[in-house]
């Protein structure tokens, strides 16, 4: 190292700090965007079926971007791709309130990645997670994947919680909560500026399509299909579901979502400390099963406090183990194809979920119990598929 230069270790830490800082700005925005999106569409006067169609169309666009831009990032550069993603998010947020046209709303929501179910930990929020997760692993040793991804996600969750709680504050000040879309645009611009200062390690895949790890990528994608279909029935419309089920305001919903994010944070911080590095798959299986059971129970509970607790529990089990799942996935694929891996699994999860919101909109008009009930039952296939596809890894084998 030259005199006055930055040591490799300090350089890695600075780049990790930049990646996480940009993610914090994004997660803060998703904290309120994912509460407000379906409520805003309802505010505009769209029917439940139309809201489902808008969200379904946005999910299709977001999932296609996750797949295509993840491959572009691995082949042409993750830093450049992520910078453009932040700019697109900023533009989409700033323009979202300017039109009531269904097609415009679908495109802006899809490009921005705010489809009602993104945000929070790294690995969510449309194509952002795929590229950011791969970037984190560039500056992290393999044995530290789970811990660093959990720490990064925990900070994102704290930011998302702050974003959710902000709705209640804005509402109490009698300010139009939908003006927060403009704040998201500012946060997106800040994320783009921060990302521009990242170091490019010049890690590139030789092929645009996955070539080395394609078998494991396909296996990792299969459990995301029932996960996506099931979650699609309720996740994009959860805020609207709470409003219709219990008649509570956007601020009150924001408090519930904020508390759920704090519980997700607790799970993220504790799980890597009590989990042996060779038991990642075990953790994935039991947390996913617990999340599905909680969702089914939530559908059947007519009491708001109990329903809120079940929602918090479901989110903690579903999202709290995301960094562990990411660590497991990143550890069984080639380093040059890690963004592509996240992009493919994100595409299958969100792509298959696109058909669910329109169906959920129709089911809501029949019986409000159906969306979370059906969604919970379908997602139960996710942990079983993980076990059958990766049972040779169940005892820690790689």
Query: Stretch 226-253: mean pLDDT, rounded?
Result: 90
Residue 12: CB partners within 8 Å, gap ≥ 6?
139, 140
* Cα–Cα distance, 185 to 197 (Å, whole number): 20
pLDDT at position 214: 79
Average pLDDT in the chain: 85
Q: Per-residue pLDDT for 201 more than 80?
A: no
* Cα–Cα distance, 137 to 258 (Å, whole number): 28
Asked if residues 75 and 208 have their Cβ atoms less than 8 Å apart, the reply is yes
Q: Which residue has the higher pLDDT, 8 or 320?
A: 320
Q: Identify the band that residue 306 occupies on the pLDDT scale cut at 50, 70 and 90.
A: very high
In tens, the pLDDT along 25-73 reads 998 999 899 889 989 999 999 998 899 889 888 888 888 887 788 788 7
Q: Identify the band that residue 211 occupies on the pLDDT scale cut at 50, 70 and 90.
A: low
pLDDT at position 126: 62
Tally Cβ neighbours within 10 Å of residue 284: 23
- The percentage of the chain sitting over the pLDDT mark of 90, rounded to a whole number, equals 37
Query: Stretch 294-311: mean pLDDT, rounded?
Result: 95
In tens, the pLDDT along 8-24 reads 777 788 888 898 899 89
Q: Per-residue pLDDT for 3 more than 90?
A: no
- Structural domains of the chain sorted by starting position, each given as residue range(s) with its CATH number in brackets: 12-200+209-393 (1.20.1250.20)
Query: Stretch 258-279: mean pLDDT, rounded?
Result: 79
pLDDT at position 282: 86
Tally Cβ neighbours within 10 Å of residue 101: 10
Min mean pLDDT across 25-29, 219-223, 238-242, 332-336 is at 332-336
pLDDT at position 209: 62
pLDDT at position 1: 43
Min mean pLDDT across 104-118, 162-176, 193-207 is at 193-207
Q: Which of 118-122, 267-271, 361-365 has the highest mean pLDDT?
A: 361-365
Asked if residues 237 and 52 have their Cβ atoms less than 8 Å apart, the reply is yes
Q: What is the pTM of this model?
A: 0.74
Q: Per-residue pLDDT for 264 more than 70?
A: yes
Q: Which residue has the higher pLDDT, 94 or 16?
A: 94
Residues forming a β-bridge with 65: none
pLDDT at position 280: 81
Min mean pLDDT across 136-140, 206-210, 211-215 is at 206-210
């Amino acid at each position: 190292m030259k005199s006055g230069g930055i040591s490799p270790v300090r350089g890695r830490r600075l780049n990790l700090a930049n990646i996480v800082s940009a993610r914090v700005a994004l997660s803060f925005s998703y904290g309120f965007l994912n509460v407000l999106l379906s409520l805003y569409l309802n505010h505009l006067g769209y029917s439940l079926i139309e809201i489902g169609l808008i969200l379904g169309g946005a999910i299709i666009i977001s999932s296609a971007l996750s797949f295509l831009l993840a491959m572009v990032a691995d082949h042409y550069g993750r830093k450049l791709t992520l910078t453009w993603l932040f700019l697109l998010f900023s533009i989409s947020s700033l323009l979202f309130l300017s039109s009531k046209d269904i097609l415009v709303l679908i495109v802006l929501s899809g490009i921005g990645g705010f489809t009602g179910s993104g945000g929070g930990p790294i690995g969510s929020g449309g194509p952002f997670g795929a590229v950011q997760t791969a970037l984190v692993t560039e500056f992290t040793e393999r044995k530290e994947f789970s811990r660093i991804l959990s720490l990064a996600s925990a900070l994102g969750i704290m930011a998302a919680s702050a974003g959710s709680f902000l709705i209640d504050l804005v509402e109490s000040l009698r300010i139009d909560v939908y003006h927060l879309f403009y704040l998201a645009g500012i946060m997106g611009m800040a994320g783009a500026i921060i990302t521009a200062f990242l170091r490019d390690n010049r890690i590139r895949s030789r092929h645009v399509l996955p070539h080395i790890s394609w078998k494991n990528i396909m296996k990792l994608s299969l459990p995301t299909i029932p996960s996506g279909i099931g979650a699609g029935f309720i996740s994009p419309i959860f805020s609207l579901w709470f409003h219709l089920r219990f008649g509570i305001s956007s601020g009150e919903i924001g408090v519930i979502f904020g508390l759920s994010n704090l519980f997700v944070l607790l799970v993220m911080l504790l799980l890597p400390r009590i989990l042996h590095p060779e038991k990642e798959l075990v953790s994935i299986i039991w947390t996913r099963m617990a999340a599905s059971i909680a969702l089914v129970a939530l559908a059947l509970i007519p009491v708001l406090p109990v329903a809120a607790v079940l929602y918090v529990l479901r989110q903690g089990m579903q999202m709290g183990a995301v960094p562990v799942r990411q660590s497991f996935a990143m550890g069984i694929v080639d380093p040059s194809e890690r963004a592509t891996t996240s992009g493919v699994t994100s595409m299958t999860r969100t792509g298959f979920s696109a058909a669910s919101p329109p169906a959920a909109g129709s089911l809501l008009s029949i019986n409000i119990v159906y969306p979370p009930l059906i969604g919970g039952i379908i997602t139960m296939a996710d942990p079983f598929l993980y076990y059958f596809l990766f049972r040779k890894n169940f005892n820690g084998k790689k």
